[in-house]
Structure 1
Amino acid sequence: MIKSGILAALLASFILCTPPAHAQTLTDVIQAMAEDDFVQAEALARQVDAREGRGDILAAFVAASRLETEGRCADAATLADAVITAIPFFAPAYMIAYRCHSQLGRNEVAAERLRALSGVMPPGPERDVVLQLLQNEEARYRPTVSGYFNVVPSSNANRQTSQSELIPGLPWIIPEEARGQSGVIFQAGGAVAQRLWGTNDLYLTGVLRTDIRYSTVDKQFEPYFTAELPLTFRRDADTTYVTAPYGRIGLTDNVHTLTEIGLRNRASLALSERQRLALELTFAALERPEDTRRSGYAIDGSVALSTILSETMTLTTALDVEFEHTDDAALRTFEVSARGRLDTLLWDGLLVGLEGTLGRRFHNRPPPLSLGPDQVDTFATGKIDLSHREFAIGPVMPSIYYQYTRSWSDNVYYDYDSHDIGLTLRTSF
């Protein structure tokens, strides 16, 4: 049974964008739900809907919440689906529909609600948790297969400098292969997942995944093979934890270049009436047979805060940290970056995402030919991506993006810019 406090938080996130003049009435709706007085809550919700001129959408959500609380999932799912149709960005309605369809044994429909939710959620830890729930749901009774294909034409595919001189005025020339070159990056992959064990709130899944990268600049074929065991725990209707031990092997033109063993941890939880917090932390041991100086371990962490600005707009802010501890102390790096992303729904299903990143990378050695301070890189990216929640080519869902990257550094090799245009195709079976 969903607790009334959680329902109040979900409702508050939906009504955040309502004008202050109606705040007292909306507060009464929330208070009525918190007191389990759904009759009063629905009556007040209808008044708000009438003032906003949007039909009985808010009242339908309140009713769906009440019906789920009463265990009447068939009716709750019907109403939640109606809310989703009217407000495609409203995540709480998707979750009611997902839980109720799943409880009713409609696993395919439950998976479809999660799939639709993942299509409107911005990239990040929060979406990763939803995708994990989707994978668990799809793999409940049979192995599932998913795949993707990316093609990225880039003005600087190898992310190198455009300069030709190592130090201006001195006869030290940067080799042609070490300079930035335009090209195309191809990425493709597939995964097979099967639920191995589980209850309604705790389940273990086995996943085998292959990822392949090829660039027309370095002309290297790089496949990666991963096996992982995600264990998902849903503490309540609004909190999900995932921990996944994994192993990964990488090759470069049939030469073993990477062995990685680690543990990924993710959590998604409600923080306030209109915000959700997602956390991700990964620990990994790295072995690089072809470059043993870079063997060691890595720690990556991310904290993302999602804020609902309106029924069709979400703001996500995030802080990312990466630390790589190599056997050779001179190659160790520490990176910190901040991201901001605004996602909005336009024109009957068009999803537009605007994202910006600013970060710094700290090295444990000075730049080449320098005895001064350790090298520091500063980088920034700007990105816009487009997709449509209802546009697909058979089982394939396409999206397209443009990204500009600029890196400043006291090491000329790390001073560059790049323009990228990417097309992504994703599918599942």
Structure 2
Amino acid sequence: MRPGKDSPHLVIISLTAIAVGVFCAAALAAFDLVSEEMTVLLWERLPESLGFEAYTWWWIALVLLSAGAVVGLIVWKWPWGAGHDPAVSELIEPPMPVAQVPGLLVCGAVTLAAGVSLGPENPIMAANVAVVAALGGRIFPHVKDAGWGLTATAATVSALFGTPVAAALALTEIHTSRPSGEPLWNRLFTPLLAAGTASVAMHYFGASTWTRDLPAYEESIGDIATAPAVAAGATVAAAGTVWLFPRVYRLFQRLPNPMVRAVAGAAVLAVLAVVGGPLTMFKGANESVELLGDAASYTAVAILGLLVVKMLAIVVAGTTGFRGGRIFPMIFCGVAFGVMVADLVPFADPALSIACSVLAFSFVATGQGWLSLFLAVGVVADATVLPILCIAVLPVWLIVHRVGPMHAEPEKAKAPA
């Protein structure tokens, strides 16, 4: 969807972009609301009304196993499918059939509510792209699906992270067809307008944030050396998930069908949740805020334990059919790694350590440098770390380029998922 030279055309596509932005933000807000209400029901209202502690081992196991059964059954038997398997697909995919959206959203909501270590980005982005492409194709049949997909993607990314800057950075790394000689602004005008609208709308819908006041970053000449070292260490740690991901995926693919795989994955997640506690469950946004607010009460060894459990949970959740994204929980891992470094290294600045670690874990999760830089700055809410992050990103990029994406090969699957 690209602006032409005539003003009426510009007005039409601008209004369309605004409508897409509002729709994508509203869809995300509704999806968040439903999943959060389900979370409250499962982890607060039911335990309280029945008189037991929510995070006892048997309730954690029951909720996660039930969620695995529901997700697995939908993926296996729902006639219209439940969208792309996130283990073998990218965050941004071509529009899927609209008939798959209900199954995908139900699986995503159940995944989030049950405390599975995945985020909302994959299901809501795929759903928004599918709906926008289907409706837009009917209204403007001359516009290709790729144009609608790019606009819906930008709007959803902006709504997810609360600012159109996130979408602008992500768009620079999306490979799209680019007609020779066409200015970049023309190609990005509509998606950025949709992104800005979605960001504003999401604030009115009550967007949540995971940022928390941290001590202001105090610049030091030594940060030129310590920041890349922290970022490199965090990247190596995060790369463990890249190594594990396809291997765990192949292991679970030996099971006979999607329902058995999801239930088996839920059983492993239940064990990890009992070991790591509620801080290692769910998508990671609220848990990051909680960890930052109570970091002084955790030893470095305790944080390392949380980190290992969370990383294992991300891998298992992402390879057993649950519908959700890996960005949010990987950011939690980055926060945990940064807090651990700040505890172990007295001269390491806490804000910078957390920013470098979030940069590393985000880069491993997304493969996108610009977006990862933005997320790192956003989590610590301090733009003064940006210059040093631009130095620290070099070893991160080199390591990520070497290890590759956190991804499994679809041809390895023995049964449809």
TM-score tier after normalising by the smaller chain length: under 0.3
Larger radius of gyration: 1
Give the TM-score taking structure 1 as reference length: 0.23
Higher relative contact order (CA 8 A, sep 6+): 2
